[in-house]
């Protein structure tokens, strides 16, 4: 009688899980979209969270590759690269924006020397001059008429308007800011009005 040999039971094989590449791919996509948005003024604000999340997801995806749990190493590295580049562009924009704001503030607060001048042959000319929001008025019996001021703001030169009376004549207005003529205009006839705005 033959004796049967018993073999130990074979343990069931667990199916190998497929690599999960989701984080590396998501990081690449977020980094790429953030990089595209980052140089666009105002819209680039949304690039900040995109590139930061892209950098985090790509780094986690690369860590999964190193542990053998994912296979998209190249995509994860590319995601890190585009996220870092997008973040660099965002940081540069912050410095550029701050610099522009500082220059505008300095220009607005700078005091300029302004010369107002009205010439011509008209008499009894009504003159409106000064800062745009706070103009002053005078009547000049004869021309030429001049006035100096120190202004600041966007429209440093302010405004200058000269109006002849019913007898007419010629009036010419001129605004000079820090030695440079920024506006001039001439009008002729009864109630002729010459207007200048200095920027």
pLDDT digits (tens, 9 = 90+) for 158-168: 899 999 999 99
| Domain finish residue from 60, 89, 108 | 108
Tell me: the pLDDT tens digits for 178-198?
889 999 999 999 999 999 998
pLDDT surpasses 90 at 175: yes
* 38 belongs to a structural domain: yes
Range of the domain at 192: 112-198
Q: Tell me, what's the pLDDT at 92? A: 92
pTM of the model: 0.54
At 97, list the tokens.
């924006």
Q: Among 60, 76, 108, give the residue marking a domain's end.
A: 108
Q: Do 94 and 148 belong to one domain?
A: no
Are 100 and 37 within one domain?
yes
Assess contact for 176 and 158: CB atoms under 8 A.
Answer: no
Distance between alpha carbon 52 and the CA centroid of its chain, in Å? 22
**Residues 183, 126 share a domain:** yes
Range of weakest confidence among 1-15, 52-66, 85-99, 169-183: 1-15
Q: Are residues 96 and 136 part of one domain?
A: no
Q: What is the pLDDT of residue 74?
A: 92
- CA dist 185 and 181 (Å) reads 11
Residue 2: inside a domain, yes or no? Answer: no
The verdict on 119 and 170 lying in the same domain is: yes
103 and 121 share one domain: no
Residue 18: the pLDDT is 65
Question: What are the pLDDT digits (tens) for 2-49?
Answer: 566 666 666 665 555 567 788 889 999 999 999 999 988 888 889 999
Sign of CA dihedral 43, 45, 49, 51: positive
């Amino acid at each position: 009688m033959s004796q049967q040999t018993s073999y130990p039971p074979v343990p069931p094989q667990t199916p190998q899980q497929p690599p999960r590449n989701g984080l590396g791919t998501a990081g690449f996509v977020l980094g790429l979209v953030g990089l595209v948005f980052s140089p666009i003024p105002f819209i680039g604000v949304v690039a900040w969270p995109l590139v930061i999340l892209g950098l985090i997801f790509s780094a986690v995806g690369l860590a999964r590759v190193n542990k053998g749990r994912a296979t998209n190493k190249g995509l994860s590295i590319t995601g890190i690269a585009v996220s870092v580049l997008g973040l660099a562009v965002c940081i540069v924009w912050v410095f550029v924006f701050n610099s522009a704001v500082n220059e505008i503030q300095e220009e607005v607060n700078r005091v300029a020397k302004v010369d107002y001048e009205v010439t011509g042959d008209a008499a009894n000319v009504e003159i409106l001059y000064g800062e745009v929001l706070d103009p002053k008025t005078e009547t000049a019996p004869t021309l030429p008429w001049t006035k100096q001021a120190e202004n600041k703001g966007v429209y440093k030169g302010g405004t200058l308007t000269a109006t002849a009376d019913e007898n007419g004549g010629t009036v010419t207005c001129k605004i000079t800011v820090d030695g440079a003529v920024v506006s001039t205009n001439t009008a002729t006839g009864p109630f002729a009005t010459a207007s200048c705005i200095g920027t």
